[in-house]
Structure 1
Amino acid sequence: MKAAENRSADRDASGLPDTLAHALTADGTFTAEWSARADHDESFPDVACAILDGLGLAAAYVPTTLGGTWSDHERLLRLVRAVAAHDITVAVAHMKTFLGSVSVWLSGDDAQCARLADVVLAGRPVSWALSEPDHGADLLSGEVTALRVPGGYELNGVKWLINNATRSDQICVLARTDPVGGGRGHSLFLVDKARLAEGGYEILPKFRTVGIRGADISGIAFHHAVIAEDTMVGPEGTGVETVLRALQLTRVAATGLSLGAAEHALRLSVRFASERIIQDRPLIERPIVRHRLVRCLGVLLAAEAACTLAARSVHTLTEELSIVSAVVKAAVPTWIDWVIKELAELLGARSFLLSAFADGMFQKLQRDHQIVAIFDGSTLVNRAALIGQFPRLVRGYAEGREDATALALTADLGREVPPLDATRLVLSATRGCSAVQALPRILSEEEGNAEIPFATDLKKCLDELHEGLSRVSPSPFPSVVAFELAEAYEAAYAAAACLHLWQGGRGGRVGWWLPVTLAELLPRMSHGPSEPGSGHVSIPATEAAMDWLLHAVAEGAPLSLRSLLAADEGVRP
Structure 2
Amino acid sequence: MTYERAADLDRALGDPRDPANPCGFEAMVRRDAEAAYPHALAARAALLRTGLLPGTAMDELLMLVRVAGRRDVTVMPATLYSVTAATCVLLAGDERQREEVLRLIEAGEQIGFALSEAEHGADLLANQCRLERGEPGFRLHGRKWLVGAGRRCSALLVVARSGGRGPSAFSAVLVRGAALERARVPVPALPSAMRGADFGGFAFDHTELPADALVGEPSRGLEVAMKAMQVVRTTSTAANLACADTGLRLTMDFAAAHHFGGRPLLEHGHVRRELGTAFAALLACDVVAITAARALHTLPGAQSLWASVAKKVLTELSEEVFTRCADVLGTRAVLDGPFSVARRDNQLVRFIDTGPVANLRLVCMQLRQLAAAEPEAQPSTELATTYTIDRPLPTLRLADLALSNRGRDEVTAALPAIDSRVAAELKLWRQDVRALAPGEDCQDLAERFCFLHAAASCLHLTWFTPALGESLAPSVDLLLDRAAGGARRLSGAAAESAASQAEGLHVRGHLFSVAPLPLAEGSSTPWLG
Query: TM-score, normalised on structure 1?
Result: 0.85
Q: CA offsets, 1:160-190, max 9 Å, x none?
A: 1111111111111111111x44211111111
Task: Identify the residue that residue 374 of structure 1 maps to in structure 2.
Answer: 351
Question: What SS does the corresponding residue of 1:172 show, helix, strand or coil?
Answer: strand
SS at match of 2:168: coil
Query: Where do residues 19-418 of structure 1 align in structure 2 (5 Å cutoff)?
Result: 19-25=8-14, 28-53=21-46, 56-64=47-55, 70=56, 72-178=57-163, 180-192=164-176, 194-196=177-179, 200-205=182-187, 207-354=189-336, 360-396=337-373, 398-400=374-376, 404-418=380-394
Q: Is the 8 A contact 1:515 1:537 kept in 2?
A: no
Q: Does 1:517 align with 2:475?
A: yes
Query: Aligned letter for 2:30?
Result: R
1:456-471 matches, within 5 Å, as 456-471=420-435
Structure 1 residue 99, shift from structure 2 partner: 2.4
Secondary structure of 1:347's partner?
Answer: helix
Q: Which has the higher contact order (CA 8 A, sep 6+)?
A: 2
Determine which of 448, 468, 472 is the counterpart of 2:436: 472
Which residue in the other structure is 1:451 paired with? Answer: none
Shift in Å, 1:543: 3.9
Q: Report the secondary structure of 2:81's partner residue.
A: helix
Per-residue CA shift, 1:7-46, capped at 9, x if unaligned?
A: xxxx9x9632222222223793212221111111111112
Letter in 2 for 1:244: M
Deviations 1:229-251 (A, max 9, x none): 11111011100110111111111
Residue type at the aligned position of 1:39: D
Following superposition, the deviation at residue 252 of structure 1 comes to: 0.5
Question: What are the superposed Cα offsets for residues 348-389 of structure 1, whole Å, 9 maximum, x if unpaired?
Answer: 1111111xxxxx000001111111111121121111111111
Where does the alignment leave 5 or more consecutive residues of structure 1 unmatched? 1-10, 65-69, 355-359, 447-454, 565-573
The CA distance in 2 between the partners of 1:474 and 1:504, in whole Å, is: 39
Give the counterpart of 2:511 among 537, 550, 558. Answer: 558
Task: Decide whether the 8 Å contact of 1:206 with 1:217 is kept in 2.
Answer: no
Aligned length: 514
Q: Distance in 2 between matches of 1:338 and 1:226?
A: 48
Q: Which SS does the other structure have where 1:147 is aligned? A: strand
- Identify the residue that residue 405 of structure 2 maps to in structure 1: 429
Letter in 2 for 1:322: S
2:396 to 420, 431, 453: 420
How far the C-alpha of 1:215 sits from its partner, in A, is 0.8
Cα-to-partner distance string for 1:397-440 (whole Å, 9 max, x where unaligned) = x353875221111111121111122222111112421011112x
The amino acid of 1:51's aligned partner reads: R
**Residue identity matched to 2:90:** W
Shift of 1:313: 1.2
What's the CA shift string for 1:452-482, capped at 9, x where partnerless? xxx343332121111112223453xx51xx1
Question: Alpha carbons of 1:50 and 1:206: their partners in 2 closer, same or farther (altered >3 Å)?
Answer: farther
Shift of 1:100: 2.9
Deviations 1:258-309 (A, max 9, x none): 1111111110000011121222221111011011111111011111111122
Shift of 1:544: 4.5
Instruction: Letter of the 2:31 partner, please give it.
Output: A
The 3 A distance-change label for structure 1 pair 197 and 79 is closer
Distance in 2, matches of 1:283 and 1:504, equals 37
- Find the residue that maps to 1:183 and give its secondary structure: helix
Q: Is the 8 A contact 1:330 1:380 kept in 2?
A: no
Q: Secondary structure at the match of 1:184?
A: helix
CA distance in 2, matches of 1:248, 1:433: 16
Cα distance in 2, alignment partners of residues 170 and 25 from structure 1: 33
Offset, 1:206: 6.7
The one-letter code sitting in structure 2 at the alignment partner of 1:503 is W
Task: Give me the whole-angstrom Cα distance separating, in 1, the residues matched to 2:213 and 2:54.
Answer: 20
Output the CA distance in 1 between the equivalents of 2:157 and 2:180. Answer: 18
Matched position secondary structure for 2:91: helix
Q: Displacement of 1:547 after TM fit?
A: 3.4
Letter in 2 for 1:551: G
Instruction: Tell me the secondary structure at the aligned position of residue 512 of structure 2.
Output: coil
Once residues 180 and 510 of structure 2 are traced to their aligned partners in structure 1, the CA distance between those partners, rounded to angstroms, is: 52
Q: Residues 272 and 385 of structure 1: is their aligned pair in 2 closer, same or farther, counting only changes over 3 Å? A: same
Distance 2:150 2:74 in 1: 16
CA contact (8 A) 1:141 1:181 kept: no
The worse-fitting range, judged by mean Cα deviation, of 456-465 and 361-370 is 456-465
Amino acid at match of 1:170: A
Report the CA distance shift for 1:223/1:341 in structure 2 as closer, same or farther (over 3 A).
same
Which amino acid is the alignment partner of residue 275 of structure 2? L
Q: Name 2:520's counterpart in structure 1.
A: none
RMSD (CA atoms): 2.2
**TM-superposed deviation, 1:83:** 2.0
Task: Answer whether contact 1:461 1:526 (CA < 8 A) is retained.
Answer: no
Are 1:526 and 2:484 matched, yes or no? Answer: yes
Q: 1:516 to 1:78 in 2, by over 3 A?
A: same
Q: Gapped runs of 5+ residues in structure 2? A: 518-529
**Equivalent-residue separation in structure 1 for 2:140 and 2:377 (angstroms):** 46
The letter of the residue matching 1:421 is R
- Residue type of the alignment partner of 1:57: L
Q: Letter of the 2:484 partner, please give it.
A: S
Taking only the aligned residue pairs, the percentage that are identical comes to: 28
- Per-residue Cα deviation, 1:306-330 (whole angstroms, up to 9, x for no partner): 1122111111112111111111112
Say if 1:313 and 1:321, in contact at 8 Å, map to a contact too: yes
Q: Could you tell me which amino acid in structure 2 is paired with residue 139 of structure 1? A: L
SS at match of 2:370: helix
Is the CA contact 1:469–1:485 (under 8 Å) kept in the aligned structure 2? yes
Q: Which secondary structure state, in structure 1, belongs to the residue aligned with residue 230 of structure 2? A: helix
Distance in 2, matches of 1:217 and 1:206, equals 11
The 1:423/1:98 distance shift into structure 2, 3 A limit, reads closer
